[in-house]
Structure 1
Amino acid sequence: RALKFYSSVRLDIRRTQSIKSGGDVVGNRTKIKVKKNKVAPPFRETEFDIMFMENGISKVGEIIDLGEAIGLIEKRGAFYRYNEELVGQGRENAKQTLMENTDLAFELEDQIRTHYGLPSMAEMNADIVE
């Protein structure tokens, strides 16, 4: 009972849907709400894919979500487009396209990073080399 008063951060984690490939469940779409936070602003929300056979949180899924949020990727029905070019029909097909076409994924990620004022991937790699 007293645990919720002593904790610094409390999160509400819920699975919103299962991600399937064929008939098998390969991941979950997860929604997290910050219920309490003594070290940063509370009541924020996020949603992302957790893939079981990959590295956990899906990076290409994040690229699609953020690209769509800032208007880089356009979603018309089930179709995802970038610069009027079809990326995929359905979210999982769009993710697969970005996994196979790494140049496109890097281009989108750089534009997303620039939009949010973060250093580009090229700048980050240059810092590592130096």
Structure 2
Amino acid sequence: MDQEKGKALEFTTEQIEKKFGKGSIMKYGEGGPSMEIEVIPTGALPLDAALGIGGVPRGRIVEIFGPESSGKTTLALQILAEAQALGGIVAFIDAEHALDPTYAARLGVDIDEVLISQPDTGEQALEICDMLVRSNAIDAIVIDSVAALVPRAEIEGEIGYSSIGMQARLMSQALRKL
């Protein structure tokens, strides 16, 4: 790096630290954040290998996407079982009202220890999720499914009522908050 760029960079980093505090910017090799990512295995070794880190990252939002009956809920339940096997506390927000406890138990989920909610509206589901996240006591939360998170206004509205974009707004707001 030439001397002029070096001075400009030093000045800029000093200004950033003055405004945002020491440690707000630094070179990665000089005590930057650790790249160690805690993971929860999926219970499927080939998938864990394909994900590159050995499972799904802990403390992050992970969306499982696929066609109907492609195994999304099964995978989510396996992740909950793995989190429990590691000693974690898990929650299942059943927006579809379709959780099969017998099937979940066969996948290894200790169903008696799962916090389960069957919310009436999308807002209620996401508020419950937010409260669980903020408790810092939960290791994994599954919302099954995003498609079933129907906004209150859509439920209370008349048939034919235009509710275009309501769910997208609800999800956008919730994801920014979470």
Q: Please indicate, yes or no, whether the TM-score normalized by the shorter chain is above 0.5.
A: no
TM-score normalised according to structure 1 size: 0.26
| Greater RCO, CA 8 A, separation 6+ | 2
Structure ID, larger Rg: 2
Relative to its length, the structure with more helix (as a share) is 2
Relative to its length, the structure with more strand (as a share) is 1
